[in-house]
Chain A
Amino acid sequence: MDDGLVRAGRALRAVVLVVLALLFLIPFYLLVRNGLSSEQDITSPEWAFFPRELRWGNVRELFDDPSVPFARSLLNSALIAVATTLGTLLLASLAGYGLARIPYRHANKVFYGILGTLLVPAAVTFVPTFVLVSSLGWVSTLRGLIVPTLFSAFACFVFRQYFLGFPRELEDAAQVDGLGHWRTYWLVVVPNARPVFAAVGTIVFLGAWNSFLWPLVIGQDQNAWTVQVALSSFTTAQVVRLHELFIAAGVSILPLLVVFLCFQRWIVAGVERSGID
């Protein structure tokens, strides 16, 4: 084997990777650069890689702007993402455990009934679900934004697969100690299943924070806007204050970047064990 050729190949790969990495990072850079520029700098006829000055005051300006309910939309998004994550974890983990571990004659039928809903993507059911939610009078309420999204067949499926492979000895020991299903679940199973909770939790949190179609449909009133809907309404508005728009977008991804960087390991683990292969 030609040593030089191998080395050349390796160098080529390194170059390609570095170039691709830069391409992948540029959009993030643009977000920060535009967010901290003045409006004139963004639209200056000469494109400059570095802005002439960094204007941290843009952040304060964004929150002071009375025409934009940005702080409110951030709060809404935070409430929705946290509630959705906790609710989904609770409901889906209980169901996944029941399906995997409590023998019941019709368990398989129930399981296929749940699995079948994965065939109908949530995005297609937004019209019928809107019909239901509006007849409940939940349009423009946090309830309407949170409750219908709590029942994730995907999360339930991941928990079921995980609990199927869970060591039975722990539960057996708990049974010998006289714990029922309920206490076994809370005292023995949950503490030993933290990785899957973290993985599903981060995936659900990212999804809830970033979701757009459902909040757009339900959040008809400005008070019920999520941060994504607020951002979108700026981009489609007639008059746009560009620097404000970009700093708003930057602020909107900050919580996610924190979650993402802290929990990246769990997301990877969760994606890998999502039972899709």
Chain B
Amino acid sequence: MRLGRDSLAGLIFLAVSLALLVQSFGLPQLPLVPVGPGFYPRIVLIFMAVTSAALIVQDLVAPRAEPADVPVPAQPQRAYGLVALAFVIVALYLVLLPLLGYRIATVLFVAALQATLERPTTWRQWAVLAAIAIGTSAVTYLVFERYLTVLLPRGSWTNW
């Protein structure tokens, strides 16, 4: 039996709900409240476990598509590698934010993500990329810090 995508998701959520359900029985009781802090989470977790199990069953009993004789139209190309790279760049930005500060980290982030999504090929394109990166950082900093008095992260390395 081959597990489908839904079965796999259902199994993950079922495992999480059962693990937390076991943990909920270890929560302390409160003297003045008739039901303890684990009462409501247990309802939620049982609901989650039941729906996860239902998803697995639904996926397992659903008829699998037989290999068709006619050629299946090609799926549009998906850039999953690019998505993973974008997440990594965002993660790096969040690491650098408290170290370099908002202004520097944002310039680096905007430039890096732009270059990743659409690599510049000419000096002019690189200049536009840099201008957008610096402009985004400068404009948002001025608007938020100066006009809206919303504080943005300072860098522990740069104090800027």
Q: Do A and B come from one complex?
A: no
On B, residues with C-beta under 8 Å from A are none
